[in-house]
Amino acid sequence: MYENRKKIVVMTIILTFFLAVFGMRLPEVLHGNGFEMEGSFSETNEILEKEFGHSSSPYIIVFTNEKNGTQDEFHQYIDNSLERIKKVKGITEVLSPLTNPNQMKSKIAYALVSFENKTEPSDNIHNLEKTFIPFTAFETNLTGGAVLEEEMNQSSQSDLKTAEMIGLPVALVVLLLAFGGVAAGLIPLISGAISVLSAMGVCYFLGLNMDLSVFVLNVTPMIGLALSIDFALLIIHRFRDELKNNSISEAVSITTKTAGRAIIFSGSCVALGMSGMLFIDIDIFRSVAISGIVVVIVSVILAITFLPALLGVLGKNINKWSFFKQVEEDEEKTFWHRFASFVMKKPISMALITFVILGIGIIPIKDINLEIPSATALPETSKARIAFEKFEENFISPNSTQVPIVITTKEDVTHPESLTYLEGFINDLSKDKLVDHVDSIYSYSQIPNSTIFAQALQIPEQKMMLDPLLKRFVKGQKTFIQVTLKATDSDKASKDWVRNFEKKYGGYKVGGSAKFHQEIFDEIWAKAPYGAAFILISTFIILLVAFRSIAIPIKAVFMNILSLSSAFGIIVWIFQGGHFGVTASPIALMIPIFAFSIVFGLSMDYEVFLISRIHEIYVESGDNDYATLKGLTSTSKIITSAAAIMIAVTGAFAFTDIMPVKQIGVGVALSIFIDATLIRIILVPSLMRLLGEWNWWLPGVRKVRKATE
């Protein structure tokens, strides 16, 4: 590494520049919130779009009469607006409130606009908004699934800038204080920037061949900056220590062997934590997992190649521009030594106090309310959110949901036998206690039964009147009905109903928001335990190999679960309870999965750094208590600095606009804070002291003898 240091630095800079060019274009290949998966919901939407021409996510044009214009003026305004809208390229269907009375009220109305699949949402939004008539007594606003997703994408980019403006200056201050010099303080930020830009460039190329969620734009920098800065802190700290008694080449070599080894094991834990999300077959988890693994791999590679090479080039200049005089500090007089000594003298009482505090934090989890992010994920000032909430308030019943069902008959739907079967099927559904009503070709045509409908089809004049309806709702042997349930799409009753219906009528396709919720929740509840088990077992094995101990991995996994659960309970209390000035809101469904997968690996960082140092001293001394005290004291300052930086970088996302991003940012920051305080400075020394030599027990491995023996 030292011999090729200049080549490595130059090659890294060239490769980073190349990847950064494409990394800046990452938003171009990100689509939607990521809650997409293969299943009945997506299959039904595809049938409705391709065969019936019904868009699964139409653009909603909301017209409001806020200034008391007359009804005639309001109707004329809507008509003029729709005439302009119909001229937009790519539109396949416009459903007007002037011809559909259920889309119209005295002060508000809405139109549904569908586009060809090949059109881009951003172009559609721009072209639609250009047609809106400005400066009138009436107002036009655009909303709908595609509009909300596009705004979420734009907000994610804005949020990233906000988080960087807050987090990076704080991180720089912490780095300068930690190292007491400009040169050493700037290198971690440079390393972080290189890691994030390179990882975003790799994600851009991945995004060309697979669907990536807009959340990638926030998660990649969040993890990349925090992790790469942490790695740089460890490398630089060890290098400066080794440089005191060794040549530059020897310092680079020892640093790579010791700190580099810890980074590889730590990075492996983080990557495996991300891999746990791959068990869940939903786009958002797959895309965040892949982007997270990419940024971890990039950060580890840079930490064990670029950083040692750069330090080899800088040599003793690493201490240049120092504003604190380098003074050898007596470790036994430091706060960390005194506090660790105090904890280790009363390990049982200190451990019990910590368990009680963490247990209190866990309590709010029992009241958790998980929800798939919707318009409420956007800020309250969002025009698209305001328009959608007006649409919901006026036209969507608060205690109902619609379930479209595609039915396939043995003969053409217009055949008398098919019409009779369809009538009987609808009558049976209508008897269900949860069903409010069923809309079909009968209700839309206002023909009461199959006999009269079949007769009407035999009369040319009546058949001509029914043709537009048949063209819209009948395709050969397929038709679709709209079942309205007396429960919301997220209610357990609705999810049970669509699940049981599909089991009973396996040949029919079920769609709608209730089916969407049911499939997403079922997939997570079914697969998340496997992902969690994979993370726990693989982390245990890595730590077992790293430290050749049974107790150390068990303790690390247990303490991580404990701290993570406590942090998540506090998150529920803050966001769901609406404390600290936060608007009360449900917890985004993916937050527990993200928190467990991301934080479990990140917090393991400090465990690996700390235990690596303790293990190194234990191998030299053979004294568990001495190794624990010495290891904790020697690493406390740098690990505390690393934690402060990670809290600053991730916690900065608390000031962003997208609610799920805010929740995950606060969640990660809070978890790291608990891990770096209660866990590391109290539980670790307490349990290390209580277990003594059993910390390092492994069947078949010879016990380390004390240096005095």
CATH of domain 58-143: 3.30.70.1320
**Where in the chain is CATH 1.20.1640.10?**
5-28+149-372+519-696
- Give the pLDDT confidence of 264-297 residue by residue, as tens digits: 888 888 888 888 889 988 888 888 889 889 999 9
CA distance 110 to 95: 9
Task: Give percent of the chain with pLDDT exceeding 70.
Answer: 95
For 466, the token pair is: 């029914």
- Of the ranges 138-147, 335-344, 630-639, 640-649, the best mean pLDDT one: 138-147
Give the model's pLDDT for residue 330. Answer: 61
- For residue range 144-163, what is the model confidence (pLDDT) as tens digits? 888 888 887 777 777 777 88
Pair of tokens at residue 248? 């530059």
pLDDT tens figures, 203-230: 999 988 888 887 788 788 878 887 888 8
Distance CA 420, CA 417 (A): 5
300-304, 352-356, 593-597, 669-673: least confident range: 593-597
**Residue pair 477/410 in contact by the 8 Å Cβ criterion:** yes
Output DSSP code: residue 181: B
Contacts of residue 15, defined as CB under 8 A and 6 or more positions apart, other chains included, come to 198
pLDDT of 615 strictly over 80: yes
- Report residue 409 as tokens: 């008959």
Numbered ranges of CATH 3.30.70.1320 in the chain: 58-143
What number is the average pLDDT over the span 475-497? 89
- pLDDT at position 447, please? 86
Which residues, including other chains, have CB under 8 Å from residue 3's CB and lie 6 or more apart? none
- 74-78, 522-526, 590-594, 697-701: which has the minimum mean pLDDT? 697-701
DSSP per position, 464-498: HHHHHHHHHHEETTEEEEEEEESS-TTSHHHHHHH
5-28+149-372+519-696 — its CATH code? 1.20.1640.10
pLDDT in tens, 230-269: 888 888 888 888 888 888 889 888 888 888 888 888 888 8
Residue by residue, DSSP assigns 563-614 as HHHHHHHHHIIIIITT-TTPPP-PEETTHHHHIIIIIHHHHHHHHHHHHHHH
d(CA 192, CA 225): 5
Cα separation of 314 and 191, whole Å? 15
Asked whether 216 and 202 are in contact (CB, 8 A), the reply is: no
Quick one: which H or E segment has residue 143?
A: strand 139-143
Do 603 and 672 contact (CB within 8 A), yes or no?
Answer: yes
* Two structure tokens written together for 81: 């607006």
Structure tokens at 131: 């047609």
Q: Give residues with Cβ within 8 angstroms of 546, minimum separation 6.
A: 265, 608, 612
Q: What Cα–Cα distance (Å) separates residue 395 from each residue in 108, 109, 121, 435, 569? A: 10, 9, 24, 19, 36
Reported for 376-381, long-range contacts at CB under 8 A and 24+ positions apart, including other chains, are 376/585, 376/659, 377/33, 377/152, 377/588, 377/658, 377/659, 377/660, 378/148, 378/151, 378/152, 378/155, 378/657, 378/658, 378/659, 379/155, 379/657, 380/583
**Range name among 7-16, 94-103, 327-336, 441-450 with the lowest pLDDT average:** 327-336
53 band by pLDDT with thresholds 50, 70 and 90: confident
pLDDT score of 495: 92
Lowest mean pLDDT among 2-6, 305-309, 434-438: 2-6
324 secondary structure, DSSP code:
S
pLDDT at residue 356, as a whole number: 93
Residue 704 has pLDDT above 60, yes or no: no
| Percent of the chain residues past pLDDT 90, beyond the cut | 14
**Mean per-residue pLDDT, 559-582:** 88
Pair 477, 411: CB distance under 8 Å: yes
Nearest to 540 by CA among 350, 269, 259, 336: 269
Can you read off the two tokens belonging to residue 503? Answer: 């089991």
Tokens of 572: 């529920």
Structure tokens at 643: 């934690």
Residue with the bigger pLDDT between 62 and 602: it is: 62
